[in-house]
Chain A
Amino acid sequence: MIEVEGLTKFYGAFPAIQNLDFHARPGEIVGFLGPNGAGKTTTMRILTGYMPPTSGTARVAGFDVVDQSLEVRRRVGYLPETVPLYPEMTVFEYLAFMGALRRVPDLDDRIDEVLEQVAMLERSQSYIGNLSKGLRQRVGLAQALIHRPEVLILDEPTIGLDPAQIIEVRRIIQELGRERTVLLSTHILPEAQQICDRVLIINHGTIVAEDTPGNLQAQLAGAERLTVVAAATTPELTRMLEAIPGVTGIRAGARDGEVEVATAPGKDLRPLVARRVVEAGVDLLELRSVGISLEQIFLQLTREENDAQAGG
């Protein structure tokens, strides 16, 4: 549904994105992760036909974004990061305007339907200028959905929302993602972890990793960590834990009696660690494995990339 090959965009001499290759299938929610200025918005703007790439190709719903831009724009629903709205219009007028541009049949019924979907039906006659940020975000989402697009492109859809609104918008996106291709950018990593089937991590305009959140965690978990909580930490306990083959590091945890044990990947050392704690004459209160989070993966990848660029 989205196929991108060698996509490059220069702003003057500055490369915003370089040689991007990725795809997204129907019924898939793909998260576009990256720090600010990584090239997420540029990529999305190219995919929505807002601006052409400097080189490379992108096809959306089978149409080229440059040569068949109008066909692409008919099939894409887009929510830009800034949620551009007309404050002097009512919600209904705004959706009627956008729906008319997109030739939506039975427009009045469709507006009611889409407003119900984003839980805004009772605010249809409110002026957009009087709405809160969260409600405006929903109006923006309704606009992106008004023409039943095959592909939804959402740039930071939950930014600036309160926690309840974030949960609600995520629920809507998950629902939409069942039958459409959704590409969403975010720098809220738990969000990507929670709602995306696949994530693309982009940094300095290039994709540095692409996989499901689970696979990324498995691949990149260079060091598993165990958290051990004992009744007390003694030098003897520390020495015995360090002596276990496969343990690569020990450090004190945040609480009294807590020790963080770093282990080599692929080895489950929990039984051995439990025995050593007991042998050290200390009561074991808690022992758990701490997986590496997407946040850590993200930082690791973007840091590696930055180091490589600085070095080379």
Chain B
Amino acid sequence: MRNLWIIASREFRLYFVSPIAYALATMLYLILGGIFFINIYFGLQTGQISPDGRMVIGPMVTILLFAMPAITMRLLADEYRMGTMELLLTAPLRDWELVLGKWLGAYGFVAVVLAVTWVYPLILHRMTSPGIDQGTLLAAYLGLLLAVAAMLAIGVFVSALFRSPVAAFFVALGVMLGLWIVGGLSSGAGAGSQLAGYLSFVDHYYNNFYRGVLDLGDAVYFVSLTALALFLGTQVVQARRWR
């Protein structure tokens, strides 16, 4: 377990010296800030929008969908590209510790980025009376943390498949978009629609968590997806030793 923390803390620190991470965080805050300002200035003043802490979460999920592959693309692909994987795989470190450590480091960074976005609901809460519904906000953020865990795990898995971070970015984005748009097929009544609904990122997030409902089935979906992707990532690292 100690190795897991060593890998995770290195990755976590690395994000704070990485220009990509700063660029993503800046982009996220700028877009969210803009959306927040427009909502406050035009929506609330004219009474068209009710004070709701989720006014930044909706767009944030979409931004994160594109940002997560950028966060994870270099995690393992870069180690292969730079040859440092040889160093890590000849250190007394288990493959799963490496994969999980990479994911945990990225998760820690994204958690910090998300924590900062709490500032918008807090401002809204101070500006309005009687304030915003904290329970709904909490459930929406909890769901977001679970969804981000799954997105990052998918990114880590895909990053293990490639030597090129750019290839890892596009493939991870493709997988995440696939899980996103598959929800569009879930409106029917057949088994295929049911399966699409079960696989859908959108359904599992927006149907309950986003509305302030904590549903065990949704949590199990995100946790299972995270575990599966990390397991597959470990298998890929092990398999690549044999090549």
Contact = CB atoms under 8 A, between A and B. Distances in A.
Interface of A: 11, 45, 48-52, 70, 73-74, 76, 78, 80, 82, 84-86, 88, 97-98, 100-103, 143
B90 A73 contact: yes
Contact of B91 (A52, A82, A85, A101): A101
* Best-surrounded residue of B18, B85, B87 (most CB of chain A within 10 A): B87
**Considering the complex of A and B, which 9 residue pairs feature the smallest CB-CB distances, nearest first?**
A84-B83, A84-B84, A82-B83, A48-B90, A73-B92, A74-B92, A101-B91, A84-B87, A100-B6
A86 B82 CA distance: 8
A101 B241 contact: no
Contacts of B2: 103
Main secondary structure of the interface of B (DSSP, over half): helix
Contacts of A97: 6, 10
Nearest to B78: A86
Contacts of A11: 243
A143 B84 CA distance: 12
B184 to A, nearest CB: 41
Contact of A88 (B17, B86, B91): B17
A38 to B, nearest CB: 19
Contacts of B84: 84-86
Given A88-B14, A100-B6, A101-B93, A52 B87 contact: no
B242 interface: yes
A208 B186 CA distance: 66
A84 B87 CA distance: 7
B3 interface: yes
B222 to A, nearest CB: 30
A84 B241 contact: no
Interface in B56-94: 82-87, 89-94
Interface in B1-44: 2-3, 6, 10, 14, 17-18
A48 to B, nearest CB: 4
A100 B17 CA distance: 21
B3 A50 contact: no
Contacts of B14: 88
